[in-house]
Amino acid sequence: MVMVLKAEVRERSGKGAARATRRAGKIPAIVYGGNQPPLKIAIDAKELLRAMQQPRFFSTVLDLDLGDHIEHVLPREAQYHPVTDRPLHVDFVRAASGSRVTVAVPVRFINESECPGLKRGGVLNIVRREVELVCPADAIPTEIVADLKGFDIGDSVHIRHVSLPEGVRPRSTERDFTIASIVPPTVGEGPGEGQQSSA
């Protein structure tokens, strides 16, 4: 089910107008892209906070209900208050059907029990917990799966080892980048203890 947020168009811009919007219990935001001019909007702060607490908010297409029309958008970036960590401003990019968007998609590792390297005491060194993918706006994968079956100490899991959905490609131009590797255990670490990460 597509998430819907009610929004209203903001006529004024600038820091003073943004502060006034926040005093009124709303968060200023902007919608851009789609070969259309940027659209300044405001969203109820409580409603936006609830939405932002949902998993994968920044990689999920949602609908902005502007009263006279609906904008299909992808949350792109948020600015937060340095003390309260509450959102001060949110950017959305238009995500009309047929358009393509770039999103960071989490990597899930499976079959650790069938990974010879981990069985022999190796450690999974995760290089990328997320991979930026270029996807159709209406077909963003929730995750990509890296199968560790058969990998030994010294082996690396590359993007070529991951099956991507049709129409989806990595944003990186690096041909076959590394997602993770199986490294020898560190001194004093027994089999299966912990995970390293270079990211």
Q: Which domains does the chain have, with CATH numbers?
A: 4-94 (2.40.240.10), 100-197 (2.170.120.20)
* Cα–Cα distance, 72 to 7 (Å, whole number): 12
Q: Taking phi first (over 0 means left), then psi (-120 to 50 degrees means alpha), and beta for anything else, what does residue 107 get?
A: beta
pTM given for the model: 0.67
SS3 (DSSP) at 125: strand
Sole residue written with tokens 């107008």:
17
- Phi, psi (degrees; rounded to nearest 5) at 112: -60, -35
Q: Is the dihedral of CA 145, 147, 152, 155 positive or negative?
A: negative
* Cα–Cα distance, 152 to 119 (Å, whole number): 9
Q: Per-residue pLDDT for the chain (199 aa), expressed as one digit of tens each?
A: 678 999 999 877 778 888 888 889 999 999 988 778 899 999 999 999 999 988 888 888 899 999 888 999 999 889 998 998 889 999 999 887 778 888 889 999 999 999 999 999 999 999 999 999 998 887 888 899 999 999 999 999 999 999 998 889 998 877 899 999 999 987 654 454 445 544 4
